[in-house]
């Protein structure tokens, strides 16, 4: 049985796996599932996301600014405490290309099974 609500946006969590110079890492990202009309509008402004293109910063950032709404298991290196989600922190993480690629790949894989190459 499928239960769905049309009165609010669907929200989900997914594990983001990525490699750092000292080894593999992961965290949990919280996403809103964007409706196809919004994805189409973003694509018309920023180009269609291309699963084969490693560098598609503007389009990926546009999608993530709308869809990526939280996280778990990201720690502040200076304080050792969980890093609170904020637009500023999200922008910094998106500026690190391997992290942004891992997050957008995770989003597309979660919503449609689409694979993005690294």
Is residue 36 situated within a structural domain? yes
CB 81 within 8 A of CB 75: yes
Is residue 108 situated within a structural domain? yes
Is residue 50 situated within a structural domain? yes
CA distance 22 to 19: 8
The range of the structural domain enclosing residue 23 comes to: 11-112
Is residue 4 situated within a structural domain? no
Is residue 117 situated within a structural domain? no
* Domains held by the chain: number: 1
Kindly report the pTM of this predicted structure. Answer: 0.77
Q: pLDDT tens-digit profile of 82-99?
A: 999 999 999 999 998 888
Q: pLDDT tens-digit profile of 18-53?
A: 888 889 999 999 998 888 777 777 777 656 555 555
71 contact partners, CB below 8 Å, separation of at least 6: 27, 28, 29, 30, 83, 85
pLDDT of residue 118: 46
Is residue 3 situated within a structural domain? no
């Amino acid at each position: 049985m499928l239960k769905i609500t049309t009165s609010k946006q669907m929200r989900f969590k997914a594990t983001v796996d990525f490699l750092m110079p000292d080894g593999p890492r992961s965290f949990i990202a919280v996403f809103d599932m964007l409706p196809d009309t919004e994805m189409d509008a973003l694509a018309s402004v920023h180009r269609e996301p291309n699963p084969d293109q490693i560098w598609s910063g503007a389009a990926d950032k546009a999608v993530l600014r709308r869809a990526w709404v939280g996280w778990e298991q990201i720690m502040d290196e200076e304080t050792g405490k969980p890093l609170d989600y904020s637009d500023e922190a999200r922008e910094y993480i998106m500026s690190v290309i391997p992290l942004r690629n891992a997050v957008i790949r995770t989003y597309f894989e979660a919503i449609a099974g689409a694979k993005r190459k690294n």
